[in-house]
Every structure is written in C-alpha cells, then in structure tokens.
Amino acid sequence: MKQLGEVFEFSAIGVVRTPFKDRFGVPRQPGLAAQAKGVIKINPDPDLKTALRSLEEFTHIWIVFVFHDHGGKGWKPSIRPPRLGGNRKVGVLASRSPHRPNPIGLSAVLVEKIDFDAEGGPEIHIGGVDLVDGTPVLDIKPYIAYADSIPQASAGWASAPIPRYPVIFSDEAENEILKRDPQGKQNLRALIVDVMELDPRPAFQKRQNPVTDSASWGQRYGIDVLGNDVKYELRESGLYVYDVQDLKK
C-alpha cells in the first residue's frame, strides 16, 4: 500500500472462526442475527484473558477486524456498490467496501457466551456474524447504545432499498436440506434464503447478468452455505435452488 501518512503497527489479538470459507457465502443482510454463528478465538495470553473480564455483561460488541483477503491487493479510490446495480460510482470511504486505504472493518455482533477457559485461549461465541473464516481481530469494544446507536442517521446512496429476490426450492433441494439438517439445528434452510435472496454473486456477475434480465434466465451457479454446495438457476420467478450437494474440494 502506498503510504498515506504516519505509520502505525497493530497486532491481531485473535481470529474469527465462522462457517463462511468464502466471502460470497457470507450473509450480507445486517441483523441476520442468531442464525449465522461464529467464535472469536482470542490468543492465549493471560493479559488478554484479563482484558475480557466483564465483557459477558454486554449483549453486543464491536469487532474491529482486518479485511485480510484484501491486504496485498491495494485499495481503490472508488467502487460501484452492488446495491446500486453497479450503475454508480461512490468513493470507497463513502462505502463499507473492503478495498479501503486501511483495510479495517467494523461489525456489531451479538454475544452469546464467553468461555474464558477454552483450550488454546478464550472464546467469544457470537451471533449475527458477517465475517469470513480466519478474519484477524484487532480490537473488541462493548457496544454502548447511548453512544453508538443513532437510529435517525440517514444514509445517502445506501438508503436505496436493497433488492431481494424470491428464493424457490425444488423438491429435491428440500429433501437434501432435510437430510443435511434434520432437526433444523443449523437453520440451514433459513440461512440459504438469507444468503441467496440478496443475490450473492460477485458484483461484476450481477451487473452482466441481472436476475431480472431474461437473457440471464437459465444460468446456473453454486454457492457454499455451511459447507453445502447450493446449486441454483436464475429464473423469471427468482433464484431457483434445484439441488444441494456435497462441496467438491
């Protein structure tokens, strides 16, 4: 990265473990909440364990993390938000895109429990996670509603409604989901809907082959949801999940 000013060094205090191995499978719906679970694995250091004391009293925390997939790639001054259909460019600092001058991310998650004495270092069990597995953590802060919650804040371009598409399942897909998550403990079906209704394809694919364009209908894709390869086809009616298979490595 080009140096922009005074340089600071930070070191990871832990790593986020999630079922999302690939960023296109990460739920981008905020408030997806409890369905997408993960663990912040804190490095085994007695001082860090002490530093977490009383954190269990908070319902929500901020994770300050590194967009590690983008570390070496440099940053882009402007991006095309997928939400705007790729039709408009905005500055990267006016977005939450990972391709920022300093690839630092911010995510508010739910604290489910903290296991201070887990083997290999404390574990913070979290819900509502939108992070890729392996994300390095720089800081954790309690979410303090009277300072952090500004419900009346209004968002320029980001207030455009997020397009959502119907997600339809074939009988075969329904059966596969039942077989893979028989008691519904993983909420696999709900998670597939949450991930898919926003059209999880990379931005350039969304631009080139919009769901609503008849020329796209019939095109097939696969996406990893909790280690399952969810096969779907673009149709006039929306995203049609025709099968759920084992992920080929």
Rounded to an integer, what is the distance from CA 204 to the centroid of its chain? 18
CB count in 10 Å sphere of residue 31: 8
Q: How far is the CB of 89 from a copy of itself (least distance, A)?
A: 7
Regarding 30 and contact with a copy of itself (CB under 8 A), the answer is: yes
Q: How far is the CB of 190 from a copy of itself (least distance, A)?
A: 19
Which is closer to a copy of itself, CB of 26 or CB of 244? 26
Which is closer to a copy of itself, CB of 151 or CB of 218? 151
Q: How far is the CB of 163 from a copy of itself (least distance, A)?
A: 15
Q: How far apart are CA 138 and CA 12, in angstroms?
A: 5
* Binding positions for a copy of itself, 185-204, rule CB under 8 A: none
Element (H, E) at 38: strand 37-42
Q: How far apart are CA 176 and CA 232, in angstroms?
A: 14
Maximum alpha-carbon separation in the chain: 59
* Binding positions for a copy of itself, 8-27, rule CB under 8 A: 8-15
Nearest to 68 by CA among 37, 95, 104: 104
Nearest to 128 by CA among 198, 36, 16, 24: 36
* Binding positions for a copy of itself, 36-55, rule CB under 8 A: 43, 45, 47-48, 50-55
* Binding positions for a copy of itself, 82-111, rule CB under 8 A: 89-96, 100-102, 104, 106, 108
Q: SS3 of 203, please? A: helix
Please count the residues of this chain forming the interface with a copy of itself, following the rule CB under 8 A: 75
Which is closer to a copy of itself, CB of 144 or CB of 247? 144
The region of 73-81, 203-211, 222-230, 234-242 touching a copy of itself under the rule CB under 8 A is 73-81
Cβ 38 vs Cβ 18: under 8 Å: yes
CB count in 10 Å sphere of residue 208: 13
Q: How far is the CB of 164 from a copy of itself (least distance, A)?
A: 13
Residues linked to residue 90 through DSSP beta bridges, in sequence order:
79
**Could you tell me where the beta strands, DSSP code E, fall in 116-182?**
123-127, 135-142, 167-169
Q: How far apart are CA 35 and CA 47, in angstroms?
A: 32
* Binding positions for a copy of itself, 202-231, rule CB under 8 A: none
* Binding positions for a copy of itself, 127-166, rule CB under 8 A: 136, 138-158
Q: How far is the CB of 238 from a copy of itself (least distance, A)?
A: 23
Q: How far is the CB of 69 from a copy of itself (least distance, A)?
A: 13
Q: How far is the CB of 15 from a copy of itself (least distance, A)?
A: 8
